Amino acid sequence: MNDHVSESIQSTIDSNDVVLFMKGSKEMPQCGFSNAVVNALSYLDVKFEDVDVLQNEEIREGIKVFSDWPTIPQLYVKGEFIGGCDIVKEMFETGELSQLFTEKEIAHTKKD
Amino acid sequence: MPMEQKEIESLIKVSIPDAEVTITDLAGDNNHFSAHITSSLFDGKTRIQQHKMVYDALEGRMGGILHALSLKTTVKKD
């Protein structure tokens, strides 16, 4: 991976509390796995930055190396890699996701 | 060419010998699978580390020819 790709990814996760690297945009996800994470974040009213990897092949491949994670979507919260679709969905279902946002002091709506 | 269910299971068991693997063909198309893996080797590891162990077991197939494998990992308790 080129340095400028890794720097660009680092700068995105440094300057946004919650970043989702995904296929498509949050308004129009292009993959069911990305859509599932958008839905979980939207349900909790979390503001997040979406990065559409389909618009940039370097980011699409670069983020997999950067996170050492083979699939997309990938969720970052305050610079920390949280996981892909399966992990985020599981955390959402158990309430851990909401708890994580509380711990990281990210504005969200708690729901039962 | 999609991977066979048995091939996924045996690759996982090579790396994670005590793994109990349940694979479900989600769409009936031999391409969209979910795998539930239970192992004592997951003990003390984060979910990210547990999933990475499974990805490592699949030797780079994940994200490539295995686009649609949904994972769930559980620690096996004695």
> What ipTM was predicted for this assembly?
0.86
Domain extent, residue A77, equals: 3-103
pTM for this prediction: 0.91
* Strand bridging mode A80-83 / B20-25: unpaired
Q: How would you classify residue A109: left for phi > 0, otherwise alpha for psi between -120 and 50, otherwise beta? A: beta
- Per-residue pLDDT of B17-71, as tens digits, reads 999 999 988 877 777 889 999 999 999 999 999 999 999 999 888 877 777 789 9
How many structural domains compose chain A? 1
- Sign (positive or negative) of CA dihedral A9, A14, A15, A20: positive
Name every chain B residue with its beta carbon within 8 A of the beta carbon of A60: none
Mean pLDDT in residue range A44-57:
97
For chain B, the residues whose C-beta falls within 8 A of a C-beta of chain A are 47-48, 51-52, 55, 60, 62-64, 70-72
Domains of chain B by range and CATH?
5-75 (3.30.300.90)
Question: Which of the residue ranges A107-111, B6-10, B34-38 would you say has the lowest mean pLDDT?
Answer: A107-111
CATH number, position A52: 3.40.30.10
| Alpha helical stretches, state H, chain B | 5-15, 47-57
**Does some domain include residue A109?**
no
Beta bridge partners of B72: B36
One-letter amino acid of A47? K
